[in-house]
Amino acid sequence: MFDLKKEVYMYEDFRKNFIKTIKNERYSNLLKLFSVINKLTYIWMENNNVEIVNLPITTQSVTSPMGLGSDSKPYKVISKSNLNYEFYLADSMQFHLELMLRAKDISSVGYITNTFRGEQVDNRHLHQFNHFEIEMLGNLNNCKEKIIDYIKFIVNELIKKHKNLIDFFNTNNSNRLKKWLSNEVIDLKHDHVISLLKLEYPVGIEKIYLNKNDFIESVNSKGEQYLINKFKNNIIWLSNFPWQLVPFYQKIEGDYAINSDLLIGIGETVGSGQRCITYKETYDSILKHKNNPKHYDWYLKMKLESELETSGFGLGLERLVLFIIDEKDIRNVQLLPRETDRELLP
């Protein structure tokens, strides 16, 4: 089936013979790599005064609702004992992290937890993955500095203490990552990137239709990869999307959101943004994005009774691993594969 020593195992091979896959040296090293990243993440949170919280994975207030700016489908669960009651497996507990920031003397909260998305699994997307999320007081610039600091901390520690582990997957990984650490961070505005892609790489643009006739131009995965290759000596933020391309909770200035995606590896690996502060701007944004305010009563109540300037980010650990080991198919870094609407074995 494949060389047990090193060849990339495919998620389908796990389904056919999971015992053989588990005994693969690659699998063992992948497990160790996730373990190291988890440990280092908690160390970084401790060093940066992030309060670590454990939250439920169920919610009735999804952060990616169906409507303008949604980047995923909510994963609905229906109660067998009460057919009128339904809830969701959380795509993110960001709203609840925002709530935690209202506690006394708390400036930053975060966790690593499972997240659930309803879309189809492919080489870039999983419908269950490990999500590192933080919400903090302050504006997006401060948040983005923390994100870069976190990833550089992880990469530095891996190079210094786990070089053999990361070089197992590709002998050039430690050298490539060492070079990446010295790259300059740049911020590319979404509208400027659209203009650039129109001239140099039009297939990197996708039309997102708002209705039958109107559309917004967005940077697709091909466009992200083009930017990564074009600016290969930089660390790239793609910032200030048209407000129609982000969920309602992101703060808006004019026609653009205060948000940024970090492009590394296969593309967007971290999504970050500044949140609406007041009840009115949150309520207006919910309507503007064609969502139902009734689904967010408690969230609006929080904004009404306790205004705060906050920002936050979400990072998929599997995408971070792809960047670290220089691979392209996210399905091949699942420790236990989960595919959309297929039986779970094991």
Sheet with 267-274: strands ordered across: 51-52, 108-116, 128-137, 310-316, 267-274, 259-264, 234-239, 184-189
Residues 151-162 have a mean pLDDT of 99
Mean pLDDT of the chain: 92
- DSSP letters spanning 243-282: GGGS-TTB-EETTEESEEEEEETTEEEEEEEEBP-SHHHH
pLDDT in tens, 247-258: 999 999 999 999
Task: Please report the pLDDT score of residue 82 as a whole number.
Answer: 84
Domains parsed from the chain with CATH numbers: 11-333 (3.30.930.10)
pLDDT (0 to 100) of residue 4:
42
pLDDT for position 9: 59
Give tens-digit pLDDT for 281-298: 999 999 999 999 998 999
